[in-house]
Amino acid sequence: TGGQLARPRVHALDELAAALKLSRQVIVLRTETPLAFCFGLLQPHICVSIGLADALNDKELKAVLLHEDHHRRRYAPLRAMLAEAVGAVFFFLPVAAELRDLFLASMELEADRHAARVIARPVLAGALHKTLTHPLAVRSAQAAGITGLSATEARIAELLDDHPVVLRLSARSMILTSAAI
């Protein structure tokens, strides 16, 4: 960072990234929109926006970094791209889209569980809540329905409850796929 990015929260982000040994993997985006995501297929990196750093406290920012680092270490962008490709190839099977959605949701839940092992679940839930309710929040494409819940709703349910969310295929998609085959 540097220059115009010399803001207190960006310095906090830099310090947290350094403490987590992520300095070389974190890229700061110059936007007030609260964003955090992992990108890159073979050498994933983590992007965090100034807007998100400003919106979250240190513990929440650490939870976000831990969540995104799990995605980075597990090559989530590559895995998501492959899931999308398989879903597109088998578009004619109703179960394909549902399997894709379940897989993508499970990646988010896994990353949440990883972060929650290091930092308290309510902290991660707070970061997610602040991100979703921020006036400049980008509405996520992860709103696709999975077993009656969106991926975001499943994440919130698991973070606020002691029991893990179990993702299952619907009987409807299994029946329709069986009929199609």
- The per-residue pLDDT for range 19-54, each reduced to its tens digit, is 999 999 999 999 999 999 999 999 999 999 999 999
The pLDDT tens digits for 110-146 are: 999 999 999 999 999 999 999 988 998 876 544 444 4
Whole-Å CA distances, 152 to 5, 39, 96: 30, 19, 20
Digit-coded pLDDT (tens) for 89-116: 999 998 999 999 999 999 999 999 999 9
User: Is the pLDDT at 83 greater than 90, yes or no?
Assistant: yes
Binned at pLDDT 50, 70 and 90, residue 147 comes out as very low
At 139 the pLDDT is: 63
Helix (H, G, I), strand (E, B) or coil at 48: strand
Cα gap 26→79, rounded to integer Å: 20
Q: At 65, is the pLDDT very low, low, confident or very high (cuts 50, 70, 90)?
A: very high
Residue 126, classed as helix, strand or coil, is helix
CA distances to 28, 41, 70, 129 from 23, in Å: 10, 19, 15, 26
Q: What is the mean pLDDT of the chain?
A: 87
Q: 0.75 cut: is pTM over it?
A: yes
Short-list 142, 148, 141, 143, CA closest to 173: 148
